Chain A
Amino acid sequence: MGKVVVVTSGKGGVGKTTSTAALGAAVAKTGKKVALVDFDVGLRNLDLIMGAERRVVFDLVNVIQGSAKLSQALIRDKRVETLFLLPASQTRDKDALTEEGVGEVIDKLRSVFDYVFCDSPAGIERGAQLAMRFADEAVIVTNPEVSSVRDSDRIIGLLDARTLRAEQGEQIAKHVLVTRYDAARAARGEMLSIDDVLEILSTPLLGIIPESQDVLRASNLGSPVTLSEPLNAAAKAYLDAARRLEGEDLPVVVPFERKGFLDRLLGRRAA
């Protein structure tokens, strides 16, 4: 039976879709069968980040409503043959997703794939709750910034209350993935540090993705950064995070930036 991982955050624009693509591709590269499911009905974007936007024929809603088979809707990645995408629909009807329907699709995926990554929409509404509903594990994508941390805290509360596992009295494994981390700004005390974020959220850390122009470049090209530029710092951080997700005990190294000459001269203190 495969593992279902929801990638969620509450806040929009923190990197859920980018992280879903990068982590999913990283796991698939090791030979595991991976399905990426876009739950953002009406505003799908995982297809675009994966470079599969012109190959979408059927989507999650078609499968749930029975107008397409799951095998017809799954798009196989052109670069990694064990990587598949199930796109969201572009119709505006959010009620098209039913809990029963989503449950059936997830069950089928779970029986065929080693990993099912559910890319959650932003917010805490129905779509986000359905994306997390059947998850075994959760990756909470957080920027080191007040509104993102607050929303992550809210999402952690929902994960502990509204998932099927939680309702059955089981644990859902939660991991924080800090994205867009700027070591220089953190060193100057201008950005929440990793310790701050972890202390506030009291949830284990999956990885730290440094702010990187290559992530935007990868999106532009329609390729997960772990496939297009695996030697880049952000890609390496995603590859490490994926190994931890698979259970490897790999210590997290906080990106370090030496204090600049000016900072030392002026005695600016780090937080």
Chain B
Amino acid sequence: MSLLDIFKRRSSAPVARERLQVLLAYERRNRSQPDLVSILREEIMAVIAKHVQIDQDYLQVSMDRGETMSTLEIDIQIPNKSARPLAMAG
């Protein structure tokens, strides 16, 4: 980076404007259901709990919002039976 680059630093206001436009377009659409992620988390948890015993802490739900498409990521860790402490088996 040359000295001139430091002075010519790209103006940040257009970035701010763009980020706000994307974010607010999303937030306005979702005002009626503000916390989709936590609702999904709860319902997914309930379905899984019917079949497997898992800990709340081992369920991660995250959302990555893009301009045209969003990704919902669900990460569930199910403990293996073999991982149980030996004492319990005896």
Contact = CB atoms under 8 A, between A and B. Distances in A.
Contact of A200 (B8, B11, B12, B21): B21
B11 A188 contact: yes
A interface, how many residues as a size bin?
20 to 34
B35 to A, nearest CB: 14
Interface stretch (A46-54, A89-97, A189-197, A214-222): A189-197
B23 A190 contact: no
Given A154-B27, A157-B28, A200 B20 contact: yes
Interface residues of B, number: 17
B20 to A, nearest CB: 5
A266 B17 CA distance: 24
Given A150-B20, A200-B21, A266 B4 contact: yes
Given A157-B28, A157-B31, A190 B12 contact: yes
Q: Say whether chain B's binding surface is mostly helix, strand, loop, or mixed.
A: helix
Contact of B8 (A146, A266, A270): A266
Interface of B: 4, 7-8, 11-14, 16-17, 19-21, 23-24, 27-28, 31
Q: Which 5 A-B pairs have the closest CB atoms?
A: A189-B11, A271-B13, A196-B17, A189-B13, A266-B7
